[in-house]
A and B are shown apart, each in its own frame.
Chain A
């Protein structure tokens, strides 16, 4: 039973770690998305222009 407890602890730790990692990266994506939308709106770029901007950014 000690072995199963040890394993349960390890499994729970690892699943919690990947859940935190996933939450972190998705939150970061949303945060940057909101900042980008705000900055692009402030310089008067609509979504179509933003796509062009992305291409320019790639070429730079």
Chain B
């Protein structure tokens, strides 16, 4: 039976889910509307309250992926491998949320879901494709040092796309809107909007942290299960 501490990932997941639901409720019913002159589709702009926090969570997940990849690649640290697995799975989920919500908004606002000339869209799309490759590739390969080395190397090089994605709209503003927060942002949203976005960012952070902790627990249990099954099959001996 797990203790409350042992269930802390589930608590984080639940708190994050409640926060995300609250964010969406506020985005619908409380956040002010944008100027109808500034947007082709002012209502669809509210998808921003999902898109920006999920992008924030994706960047956290990709950072965890990078740290885990480095820990495994350079130190053969098993915690690093668990972080790599958790970061790639969370990065894939959040990446898909960002890309899908972006495509929905792009369709309503631009009349097209994707712009192949926009650096932000394409660098983030590549990050998500990298996460798909890492998750599906790992599941199709037997676990081993060589497999982990290969995927960790991709995790390390792929992280170059994270700073590129972050600075892209600050350097090349092609189609994707400019930054609304962080370094180089001009503060283009008002106080109520900012509150809802920050609540969303906090909620998505809790949610993704819970997911990564559950994922790390699963990886740990899979390794224990594999080891225990080898003992059961007589391949290994368990000595007290």
Contact = CB atoms under 8 A, between A and B. Distances in A.
A40 to B, nearest CB: 5
A23 B30 CA distance: 29
Nearest to B14: A22
A17 B228 CA distance: 34
Given A43-B232, A45-B238, A54-B220, A10 B104 contact: yes
Contacts, number: 94
Contacts of B28: 7-8, 11
A6 B44 CA distance: 8
Contacts of B227: 53, 56-57, 60
B229 interface: yes
Given A3-B108, A14-B100, A15-B24, A39 B225 contact: yes
B97 to A, nearest CB: 7
Interface in A10-44: 10-11, 14-15, 17-19, 21-22, 25-26, 28-29, 32-33, 35-36, 39-40, 42-43
B50 A11 contact: yes
A43 B221 contact: no
A49 B240 CA distance: 8
